[in-house]
Structure 1
Amino acid sequence: MHYTGTIWRPPYEAASLLLEVTAGCTHHKCKFCTLYNDLPFKFRMSPLKDIESDLQEVKRAAKSWNSERTHRVFLTGANPFVLSYDKLTAIAELIRKYLPSVTSIGSFARITDVIPKTDEELAKLRDMGYDGLTIGIETGDDEALRFMNKGYTSADIIEQCQRLDAAGIHYSFFYLVSISGAGRGEIGAKLSADICNQTHPALIGANMLTIYPDSELFAEIQRGNWQEEGEVEKYKEVRTLIENLQIPAIFAAMGASNAYQFHGQLPKDKKKLLAFLDEIIENVSEDELQRYRRSVHHL
């Protein structure tokens, strides 16, 4: 199998076949991100011959474990959905050729990856099996989006996700706790809840911002241009986000960046989640949470 650098996937894609079709990120300008710094290039698409070779390898190996168990493929790379309609079609056709049991194809995606595709193309991609995208919206706070150089606005999130809704393509959000900065966490949470309430994410995954020295955000902090939230403030932010969500969705904080991992179904589990967060806010010290943050040497 062809894999380049560290391979990232959401926790809920653990059972999916990981197929490399891209490496790196087309944007690679978010000030907080260091996930692809180990690559000697910004972004590249895998040659179709490599993708086909990997699928052939999976098909051969699948004979020993029953290939009919392979129902989902997760395309790896920061944002494979950026690929053109024609390239995504070619990849889907190869998957169908070698793994006919596959019924859905997912990937990470940026909001900007949706924009160039027509409504007709999105609908056809859904028919080919593209579904269950994971989108790192990070926040609905336009001030934070601008400062962090995300390359889109909260209005773009709403518009493009509503286009995905119309095409029948389901999606989940990654939310980055503390991206609005010290003193603005609960403001950012309310703005983000407003965005989520106008869209239909199947899951909202919260990740705690962890800042590393090789990030541009670290340099901004050194220059005095930005200040990180305290750890207790981060949990207050998460609480505010959940409190203001009005849509049915799974809410999960399951990644290594979270000192306390939890998940629940909204709205059914809202009171339980809020009570759990209240327990942390009231009884866990800032020092203890800071010790955990310092222990997260790599995500």
Structure 2
Amino acid sequence: MHYTGTVWRPPYEASSLLLEVTAGCTHHKCKFCTLYDDIPFRFRMSPIEDIDADLKEAKGRFRLSNGTHISRTFLVGANPFVLKAARLWEIASLIRRYFPANKSIGCFSRITDITLKTDEELLALRDAGYNGLTIGIETGNDEALKFMNKGYEAQDIAAQCRRLDKAGIAYNFFYLTGISGKGNGEKGAKDTADICNQLHPQIIGANMLTIYPNAELYQEMQKGNWQEETEIEKYKELRTLVDNLHIPVWFAAGGASNAIPIQGTLPRDKGKILYVLDKIIQSVKEEELRCYRENLPHL
């Protein structure tokens, strides 16, 4: 299989076929991100010949005659949805050729990738099987989005995800706890909840900001331009987010960046989640949480 650098996927895509169609990130300007630093280029599309070869190899590895055991494919890369609709259709056709029982195709997407598609193209991509996109919105706070160079504003999240709703393409969000910086976390959480409450994400996955020396954000901290929240502040921020979410959604803070995994269905489990967060805030020492953060080798 043609895999370039570290392969990143959401936890809920663990059973999906991982197919590389791009490598790197078209944006590659977010100050906090170091996920693709092990790739010696910014962005590359996989040759269609490589994609075809990988699907053939995957079919052989699974020893299937008709691909009945593969129901979902996750396209690998920072934002494969940036590809032109025609290219995405071509990839979908190849997947169906090798795995006829494949029901859906997911991938990471930036908000700006959706902007590139017409409403008609989004509908056609849904018909081709694209569903369950994962979007790292990070926050709904405009100040944080601008400072971190995300390349869009909160209103763009709402506008583009409404277009996905209209096309019938489901989507999941990643929220980055701590992105608003010291003293601003709870406001950032409320702003994010305001945006999410207008939309229909299936999942909101919360990751906690972990700053590595090779990140541009680390340099901003060294210059005194930005201050990190304490670990307890991050949990207060997370509590504010959960408390202000009023939509039915699966909430999960379960990745490696979270010292204490938390998950549940909102609104049903909101009380339980808030109780756990309150216990963490009241009982867990800052030093313990900071030790976890400082000894996290990578996300």
- The Cα shift of 1:61 comes to 2.1
Give the CA deviation at 1:65.
Answer: 9.2
Stretches of structure 1 that go unaligned for 5 or more consecutive residues are none
Change (3 A) 1:80 1:269: same
- For 1:69, what is the secondary structure of its paired residue? coil
Which amino acid counterpart does residue 51 of structure 1 have in structure 2?
Answer: I
Deviation at 1:64, TM superposition (A): 5.5
**What corresponds to 1:78 in structure 2?**
78
2:68 aligned counterpart, secondary structure? helix
Q: Which has the higher mean CA deviation after the structures are superposed, 284-293 or 54-63?
A: 54-63
- Distance in structure 1 (CA, Å) of the matches to 2:242 and 2:66: 41
Aligned residue identity for 1:81: F
Deviation at 1:262, TM superposition (A): 1.3
Which residue of structure 2 lines up, in the alignment, with residue 89 of structure 1?
A: 89
Corresponding position of 1:219: 219
Q: In the alignment, what sits opposite 1:289?
A: 289
Return closer, same or farther for 1:188/1:5 CA change in 2, 3 Å cut-off.
Answer: same
SS in 2 for 1:70: coil
Shift of residue 67, structure 1, vs aligned partner: 2.8
Report 1:160-179 matches (<5 A).
160-179=160-179
Equivalent residue of 1:4, what SS?
coil
Aligned length: 299
Aligned residue number for residue 6 of structure 1: 6
Please name the residue that 1:37 is paired with: 37
Q: Secondary structure at the match of 1:242?
A: helix
**Which residue is 2:268 aligned to?**
268
Query: Is the contact between residue 67 and residue 102 of structure 2 (CA under 8 Å) also seen in structure 1?
Result: no
Cα deviations by residue, 1:254-284 (Å, 9 ceiling, x for unpaired): 1000000011000000000000000000000
- For 2:276 and 2:209, locate their aligned partners in 1 and report how far apart those are by CA, in whole Å: 20
Q: Could you tell me how far 1:295 is from its partner in structure 2?
A: 1.2
Moved over 3 A (4+): none
User: Superposed, which structure 2 residues align to 1:144-183 within 5 Å?
Assistant: 144-183=144-183
Looking at structure 2, the residues matched to 208 and 56 of structure 1 have their Cα atoms a distance apart, in angstroms, of 38
Equivalent position SS for 2:149:
coil
Q: Which runs of 5+ in 2 are unaligned?
A: none
- Normalised by the length of structure 2, the TM-score is 0.99
- What TM-score results when the alignment is normalised by the length of structure 1? 0.99
Comparing 58-67 with 220-229, greater Cα deviation is found at: 58-67
TM-fit CA distance, 1:179: 0.3
CA contact (8 A) 2:34 2:215 kept: yes
Counting aligned pairs with the same residue, the percent is 66
- The separation in 2 between residues aligned to 1:155 and 1:127, in whole angstroms, is 27
CA-atom RMSD, angstroms?
0.9
* Mapped contact 2:22–2:46 kept (Cα < 8 A): yes
Match of 2:201 in 1: 201
2:226 counterpart letter in structure 1 = W
2:49 maps to what in 1?
A: 49
Cross-structure match for 2:27 = 27
Compute the displacement of 1:66 (Å): 7.5
Relative to structure 1, is the Cα distance of residues 221 and 128 closer, same or farther in structure 2, using a 3 angstrom cutoff? same
SS of structure 2 residue aligned to 1:281: helix
Q: Tell me what 2:108 maps to.
A: 108
Letter in 2 for 1:27: H
Partner of 1:137: 137
